[in-house]
Structure 1
Amino acid sequence: METRELRYFVAVAEELHFGRAARRLGIAQPPLSRAIAQLERRLGTVLLERDSRGVALTGSGHVLLREGRTVLAAVAAAEARTRRAGQPPGLVLAAKAGASTELLAALLDAYAARPDPVPVDLRLCRFGEQSRLLREGAVDAALLHLPFDTTEGLDSEELHTEGRVALLPAGHPLAARPALRLAELAALPHLPAPRFPRRDGSYPDGPGPEIRDTTQLSQLVALGRMHAVLPESARSQLRPGVAVVPVLDAPPVTTVLAWDPAARSRPLAGLVRTAVEVFGGGGPNGVVVDGS
């Protein structure tokens, strides 16, 4: 099976329309149809059901879509890591803009004090971007926040766990409370929760506004358009007009340093060791270092 065939199939499976998939790929529809038919013959199974109403995935098609996405992501990440391996020594670390500022500063300062540091390029991201950049091979490591992000398929080291707080307009009646519970926030009239992007960049359905970054979130809370429940450390990034109240029953948030398990890098291993030393983790789980 060729990566070209996988790319063609994933496009059709996601669009469920040969014409739209062909336009997305920048090719004509007939060669796309022939390529899919050839792939089905090679695999000995039907991947797509075609009729006058459109295109639908078979059971085999669903499996190949899942596996194909994984393979294409791995190929893209390998290409990105290979290109970056030929560049001068350095690390690229992704972090969500406005999140874990003090933790990030402590990690970078401690790493810079090592006997063998390399330059660290900090990539500040919108919500949900760090994991994607890491999986694509565009960065060496990322600060992720559980349970919002996922470390599936990655190696990671826990750095810090903290409670969560509610962000409310300063004049709201609940803003003067010493603490709140999630049920009280869910029942707020005309003050919905925000909608954060999924891993693929799409947003779930709901009444709340779509949130791209911390600045937008803070402004919308201050304007009385929504409430939000964020990690305790978000206090340091808020604008005037936003009140902060602890939420007693909100699940805690754990910040982790994550990296690709296939990484072969002394600088990355040094960054992970630094995280272990500074934040008291159990060891650099799975960082493999080459001999260079």
Structure 2
Amino acid sequence: METRELRYFVAVAEELHFGRAAARLGIAQPPLSRAIRQLERRLGVRLLDRDRRGVALTDAGRVLLREAGTVLDAVTAAASRTRRAGTPTRPLVLVTKAGASHELLQRLLDALAGEPGAPPVEVLLCEVGEQAGLLRAGRADVAIMHRPVDDLAGFDTEDLVTEGQVAILPAGHPLAARDRLTLAEVQHVPDLPIARWPRLDGTYPAGPGPEVRTQSQLAQLVALGRTLLVIPTSSRAWQWPQHVAVPVVDAPHITTVLAWPAGSRSRPVASLVHTAARLRDTPAAPILHSPPRQSGT
């Protein structure tokens, strides 16, 4: 298969219309139709059902759409990493979720800056769950991510810190006066339904909570008394004055990790990972140590 054919197929599969797909690709419709027929002959399966009602994916087509996305992302990432590797003075791009692990990130950057010959670092801030996509696309070299909530498939990782979680609540809410909460309590607050984040396909799970896409949206909705959230203790750096953080004693612990593409031979990435591991093992940097697990109520 050729990447050109895969791009053509993805356009048709997503548009489910040859005319719209051709316009999106900037080509005429006849060569697009020929390319799809050639791809079907090469694979020996029908990828699309075509009739007067329109175009629909077959089971085989749905599989190829999923696999083609992975292949095309890998090709794009390979090109991006190759260009970046050919620029010796380029900075190391570290991506992290905005507001997360702020103190850890600051100590890591300060420690790396003190290393002889350390690479310059560009910090790329993103929204929830975007780190994996940016790493796979080659737009970042290394990421601060969180196990088990982030997608770590295909990455090498170095554990940095394991910690408990807190509930971020509106300051005026009755639960904000508590010194501890349980997951059952925060998951069933009638007037504070937990916010809903979009899935990978852009749709939202069902539920009563508000739909959010950014940390700033979420922070304001909490301040307005419309929702709550549960996050790692160290991620409360972005907490507003209108928020209160209360420990959730039985919430799963979260491990903050450095993640990078498996098999990477990047020296700047190795330098960052070694610096982070050394900080983690240094008693003077308690933020990079795992706290004892809190007992339940």
Deviation at 1:20, TM superposition (A): 3.2
Deviation at 1:276, TM superposition (A): 1.8
- Taking the TM superposition and a 5 Å limit, the aligned residue runs for 1:60-75 are 60-75=60-75
Unaligned residue ranges in structure 2 (runs of 5+): 283-297
Residue matched to 1:154: 155
Residue matched to 1:145: 146
Structure 1 residue 9 and structure 2 residue 9: aligned? yes
Letter in 1 for 2:41: R
Counterpart secondary structure, 1:13: helix
Give the distance between the partners of 2:203 and 2:260, measured in 1 at CA: 24
Deviation at 1:53, TM superposition (A): 3.3
1:143-197 Cα offsets, whole Å, 9 max, x none, are 1122221110111111111111111111111111222222222222232211224
Residue matched to 1:238: 239
Q: CA RMSD in A?
A: 2.0
The farther-off stretch of 271-280 and 221-230 is 271-280
The farther-off stretch of 50-59 and 141-150 is 50-59
Letter in 2 for 1:138: R
Counterpart secondary structure, 1:189: coil
Residue matched to 1:213: 214
Give the distance between the partners of 1:183 and 1:51, measured in 2 at CA: 51
Structure 1 residue 259 and structure 2 residue 263: aligned? no
Change over 3 Å in CA distance of 1:189–1:246 after alignment to 2: same
The count of residues paired between Structure 1 and Structure 2 equals: 281
Change over 3 Å in CA distance of 1:201–1:86 after alignment to 2: farther
2:161, 2:257 within 8 Å by CA — same for their partners in 1? yes
Deviation at 1:21, TM superposition (A): 2.5
1:45-90 Cα offsets, whole Å, 9 max, x none, are 1112223333332232232222211110100001111121222243
2:168, 2:245 within 8 Å by CA — same for their partners in 1? yes
Residue matched to 1:166: 167
TM-score by length of 1: 0.89
- Taking the TM superposition and a 5 Å limit, the aligned residue runs for 1:60-99 are 60-87=60-87, 88-99=89-100
Residue matched to 1:49: 49
Unaligned residue ranges in structure 1 (runs of 5+): 282-292
The farther-off stretch of 185-194 and 206-215 is 206-215
Identity %: 63
TM-score by length of 2: 0.87
1:128, 1:199 within 8 Å by CA — same for their partners in 2? no
2:100, 2:237 within 8 Å by CA — same for their partners in 1? no
